[in-house]
Amino acid sequence: MTAPTFTRVPLMPLDDALAALLAQATPLAATELLSTFEADGRVLAEDITSALHVPPHDNSSMDGYAVRSADIAQSGTVLRVTQRIPAGQFGQPLAAGEAARIFTGAAVPAGADAVVMQEDTVALEPESAGDVPRVQINTVPAPGLWVRYAGEDVTQGSVVLRQGQRLGPASLGLAASLGLAQLRVAARPRVALFSTGDELVMPGDVAPQDMPPGTIYNSNRYFLRALLQRLGCEVSDLGIVPDQRATTIAALKTAADHHDLILTSGGVSVGEEDHIKPAVQHLGRLDLWQIGMKPGKPFAHGWVQRDGGAGVDAGSGCHFIGLPGNPVSSFVTFLLLVRPFLLQLQGAQQLGVTPLALPAHFTLARGDKRREFLRARRNAQGGLELYPNQSAGVLTSAVWSDGLIDNPPGGSIAHGQIVSFLPFSELLA
């Protein structure tokens, strides 16, 4: 009997794979009106135009005295204090020779063009009962000193937040400063998550000492669910699907009618016990890619035809993405491929992260033939240290590190060489 022959499929460059994947990611049409309190991490579905100036009027940025700078030619000038203006109140116009006691955030009165902070003043005792209080100004203020001008932050009619912007704490505060209690955002992508593999068991189901031979705990399910939730997805965790074709087909059909994406880990290679590929092909279409990246390489994208349940159109397709089973491979391919895919589904404009240029404080004599993403972290000297075990199964490398070094195929790294570093602080945001 002649042994079967296998044709080696050329590896697809990572950038090409990402471009092909994003070409399939048409932004979802649905939006929702959401409380500004609840919009952190969501993608804005429309431009926000300011209906007012921020701040709405000239105001003081210090506790002190509002003055006319022309009245103060030299340090030691004494002015009459004719009014007191707390925040939330408007004072009277300021006449020559007068000062107004003012507090941070209070409107600067007409006629005043500067604020002298109280540390540069001395409040003088009245010379007799009923006298107007006086203050000694111990500096020569320039016009505009400690004054925040109307519209200095935002001008009325300007676009301050753009459609496709991913909202964060600062942008939520800015929206609130415009009086917006609600924001229109892209709807959450609905993602069905399940794992495949008879070797998988769930933490809590079996104690470590009782683990059957050949089994492992399902770690991928935990970090994938967390990653999806961080990206604003509505996650349906369908658990572990047994390595059976009929069961796999049934799980895919059920998930397709209710979700925008089905995400799996494991079962996307070509082994006899890998049932994802034939199941998806049976229900729709599947492209199985061999990507020139490490960790990673096996990656699948396709779609599963819907039957028309849950308000979806019959015959339309639900996206399918299959990740490799090794934990670090699954983790890294999610960050580099699935993350931008999900952001584009939400209409986000910023899909990638900006790499940092940092020195390597290690030596790598010979890089892998694939584009390699090395787990590393910054040290106290501002350089990068390399985790000693870069295996795709060593999840401790992702915990220990704080980012990925993007090393080109075959690239060696000398000590002190500047390398491209993708920080987890952005990839995991």
> What is the CATH architecture assignment of 356-427?
Beta Barrel (2.40)
Question: Would you place residue 412 in the very low, low, confident or very high pLDDT band (cuts 50, 70, 90)?
Answer: very high
**Interval 398-419 mean pLDDT:** 97
User: pLDDT for 286-337, tens place per residue?
Assistant: 988 999 999 998 999 999 998 865 555 555 799 999 998 889 999 999 999 9
**pLDDT score for 1:** 47
Residue 74 contacts by C-beta under 8 Å, 6 or more apart in sequence? 140
Report how far residue 112's alpha carbon sits from residue 92's, in angstroms, rounded to the nearest whole number.
10
- Per-residue pLDDT tens for 183-229? 999 999 999 998 776 677 777 777 788 888 877 777 889 899 999 99
End-to-end CA gap in the chain: 55
* Strands 77-85 and 98-102, sheet pairing: parallel
Q: CA dihedral defined by 57, 63, 69, 71, rounded to 10 degrees?
A: 120
Integer Cα distance of 71 and 81 in angstroms: 13
Query: What's the CATH superfamily of 14-29+188-345?
Result: MoaB/Mog-like domain (3.40.980.10)
Q: For helices 245-256 and 276-283, what crossing angle results, to 10°?
A: 50
The strand pair at 234-241 and 298-305 is best described as unpaired
**Residue 338, token pair as written in the block:** 């699935």
Q: Where are the domains of the chain?
A: 14-29+188-345, 33-51+159-186, 59-148, 356-427
Domain 33-51+159-186 shares a fold with domain 356-427: no
Domain 33-51+159-186 has CATH 3.90.105.10: yes
Question: What does the alpha-carbon distance between residue 404 and residue 372 come to, in Å, rounded to a whole number?
Answer: 9
Q: DSSP assignment, residue 337?
A: I
Q: In the predicted model, what is the mean pLDDT of residues 228-249?
A: 88
pLDDT value, residue 101: 98
What pLDDT score does 107 carry?
Answer: 97
* Number of residues assigned to the chain: 429
Q: What is the per-residue pLDDT for 8?
A: 65
How far CA 367 is from CA of 16, 374, 391, 407, in Å, comes to 21, 10, 14, 8
